[in-house]
Structure 1
Amino acid sequence: MEQQNSYRALVRIPGLTPLIVAATLSRLAGRMFILTLVLFVLAQFSSPALAGWLTFAAIVPGLLVSPVAGVLLDRVGPTIAVRIDMIASAIFIAAIGIVGWLDWTTPPVLFFVVTLFSLAGPLGAAGTRTLLPRLVPSHDLDRANALDTAVYAVVDVVGPAMAGVIVAWLGPESAMSMIAFSYATAAICLSFVPRLPGLAPRQASFLHQMIEGIQIMSRQPTLRGLAISYSMYQITWGVLYVAVPVFVANHYDTAVGSSVTGFLWAAMGIAGGIGALSAGRLRTAGRERHVMAIGMVVTALAAWPVAAEFGLGGLAIGLMLAGVMSGPIDVALLTLRQRRTDTRQLGRVISISMSLNLAGFPLGSALAGMVITSSLSTTFVLAGIASVVAAIATVSIPSDARAVA
């Protein structure tokens, strides 16, 4: 029994190992790409404004078309959809490197290619998490989600660091080529993943199924509740991403402060990975809401008063504590969403919900930018309040008996 409940047992599930490898490579490439794009634009045009708009173009269009991506996942099957994303991403990013080497780079060309890259993104992001519950038995779903979440945490730490080193040594064009190669390798790994068919009926129109996906998210109490609660929780992280560098800048000069901030986020990412892997050994079935709510309350306390009122040491402890809690929260979220969603609708639900969940982060950053000029401590209080509200919203999600609208 112990061996069956271990992470080693996951390796024996057909197709899971190549899926995790492909997801790791593609996510690493994605995290590297955002920073490399900024450095590429600065090297070519010396324009921070253009870099900001291109970063916007690399993210937002994909969020807007998430309902379309969800229908594709359910109609053609997640395996094919994810491969389409990875092959397309490899082609588009390689094109950026090529036009850079040939001195054909212009802002319109970059906007066009980067937008195409963004439009394909939801297929890969949601596709991996659509594949997991179809490949993995229900009793192993917690650990599979934990492993998936830990990959995200590690990539968040390693990706930007690798991008910075490669750009410094070889230049942004070479970095783009390596990112494209990583996407291509991920696509090859997916050839070893079982080709799962789409489960959505082909008789219904594409538009009808897209509207149906939006209606499912808005009407199903569990999915609606998770979208609200996790978006509120992400407000906390949006606030912290603004507040932490300001806090550190009040204690150190710019050069040292940047290094300290980077170290704090790296430590937080590692703590998140450890928390996720630990959460994977828990049996959360039927307790997902409580795991999420407890983690959110602890996160609120970590933001204020721990991080805000006890100096730099308190900030470090608070971020580590919030990082550890992020693992169980994410694992419980994924597991609850997968268990309460019809498999035939899983692609649409995950694609739309992931976009909704991300909405809280920029909102938190915007709020922090307005509040922080008046009071840094109040900004941390805002982060704590957001997580408390998220916890209340989480426990308000109905139990299994009332989960279906």
Structure 2
Amino acid sequence: MSVSTEVRPSYRALLAVEGLPRLVVSMLLARTANTMVSLALVLFALERYQSPGLAGLVTFLSLFPGLLVSPIAGALLDRHGRTRLMVVDYVVAATTLALIVVLGATNGLTEALLLMIVTVQSLTFPLSTTGARTLFPLLVPRPLWERANAIDSNGYVVSSIFGPALAGALVATVGSLWTLALTSALYVVAAAVTVGVRDPLGVVPHGRLLADAWAGLVYVARNPTLRGLGISISTSNVAGGLFYIGLPVLVLSRLGGGPAEVGQLFALSGVTAAVSVLFIGRIGTEGRERQLLAGAMLVVGTGYAALTLPGWAARSRSRCR
């Protein structure tokens, strides 16, 4: 990693870093596809099988198996380079979605087969998510790290704005299968763009795969800071996953809304997050990370709790109509 104390922190200097613009483009395409497929699969399960339980299980299996193998994914990224394994994940995602589309169109997609396919897709998911995030500090000089982190975080925000809105609108107009097909095409484009991203480390010296993965897991478990981050962020992500299932079910079954309204609500949450991400990127966070993380989680939790207040659903139903 190159470190230069002469670099003046600015977003212009950040975008001048070799390889970073291509990484940002591929990241945005892939993350937009991720948010699209998350919502599209939920709506697909609700539409075809009329089962909120199945929709929840689809979402669970699209994430949890990947979390289990994430230590191995980290070791693989070090062994074989981030760029090529990111491409592998995008190709797997595009292929599995195309398979769902073909089987769904020919009425050959059973519930069990759908669950198997999303499980396979989940296994490579950490390769791109971890690979992209760890490329930023490798490409970017140390003085630009906070702005790079803002760009990285805003990539999630931008995708959370456009992905659900686009997925909801497409499901409402052309159906869930066509939406999944277009999402598959987005992954193909993301893979093509990622091919040209340089990996500064390439392949590094390594030992046995499982031993390296276990060593990384033990290191995280023994480090108080990393252990705390793992527990708190994982718990927060569980809440976010529950909300991602609960909101579509609430809108479709209780409020009388449609897929477009679901997408618009998720997009609205992304718009509000965009402002905060850009603001945080311009201030110093060093030494205040714990307070900022805890405060953000409390604010999000308060928002979730507000949805349970008596009378909220009735007022929202009248607005939807």
TM class by smaller structure:
0.7 to 0.9
Structure 2 counterpart of 1:92:
96
Structure 2 counterpart of 1:206:
209
Which of 121, 128, 145 is the aligned partner of 1:141?
145
Which of 147, 152, 159 is the aligned partner of 1:155?
159
Distance 1:56 1:307 in 2: 19
Distance 1:74 1:295 in 2: 28
Which of 171, 176, 179 is the aligned partner of 1:175?
179
Q: Which moved more, 1:179-188 or 1:155-164?
A: 155-164
Structure 1 counterpart of 2:197:
193
Distance 1:175 1:199 in 2: 37
TM superposition shift of 1:232: 5.8
Is 1:293 aligned with 2:291?
yes
Distance 2:245 2:80 in 1: 40
Q: Is the Cα contact below 8 Å between 1:79 and 1:196 reproduced in 2?
A: no
Q: Is the Cα contact below 8 Å between 1:233 and 1:296 reproduced in 2?
A: no
TM superposition shift of 1:273: 1.6
Structure 2 counterpart of 1:69:
73
With over 3 angstroms needed to count, the CA separation of the structure-2 counterparts of 1:110 and 1:267, relative to structure 1, is: closer
TM superposition shift of 1:51: 2.7
Which ranges in structure 2 are unaligned for 5 or more consecutive residues? Answer: 311-321
Q: Please give the residue correspondences for 1:5-84 in structure 2 after superposition, counting only pairs within 5 Å.
A: 5-84=9-88
With over 3 angstroms needed to count, the CA separation of the structure-2 counterparts of 1:47 and 1:217, relative to structure 1, is: same
Q: Please give the residue correspondences for 1:359-398 in structure 2 after superposition, counting only pairs within 5 Å.
A: none
RMSD over aligned Cα atoms = 3.5
The aligned amino acid for 1:13 is: V
Structure 1 counterpart of 2:114:
110
TM-score, with structure 2 as normaliser: 0.80
The aligned amino acid for 1:281 is: R
TM superposition shift of 1:221: 3.2
With over 3 angstroms needed to count, the CA separation of the structure-2 counterparts of 1:240 and 1:42, relative to structure 1, is: closer
TM superposition shift of 1:44: 3.4
With over 3 angstroms needed to count, the CA separation of the structure-2 counterparts of 1:302 and 1:216, relative to structure 1, is: closer
The aligned amino acid for 1:296 is: A
Distance 1:239 1:84 in 2: 28
The aligned amino acid for 1:293 is: Q
* Cα displacement string for residues 123-161 of structure 1 (whole angstroms, at most 9, x for unaligned residues): 111111111111111111111110111111122232122
Distance 1:109 1:238 in 2: 22
TM superposition shift of 1:61: 1.1
TM superposition shift of 1:98: 1.6
TM superposition shift of 1:236: 7.3
Distance 1:264 1:53 in 2: 22
Distance 2:42 2:244 in 1: 18
With over 3 angstroms needed to count, the CA separation of the structure-2 counterparts of 1:10 and 1:119, relative to structure 1, is: same
Distance 2:224 2:261 in 1: 42
Distance 1:234 1:188 in 2: 30
Distance 1:281 1:193 in 2: 26
TM superposition shift of 1:257: 12
TM superposition shift of 1:299: 5.8
Structure 2 counterpart of 1:279:
280
TM superposition shift of 1:111: 2.1
The aligned amino acid for 2:13 is: A
Is 1:219 aligned with 2:217?
no
Distance 1:165 1:215 in 2: 45
* Cα displacement string for residues 347-372 of structure 1 (whole angstroms, at most 9, x for unaligned residues): xxxxxxxxxxxxxxxxxxxxx9xxx6
Distance 2:137 2:178 in 1: 37
TM-score, with structure 1 as normaliser: 0.65
The aligned amino acid for 1:184 is: V
| Structure with bigger RCO (C-alpha 8 Å, 6+ apart) | 2
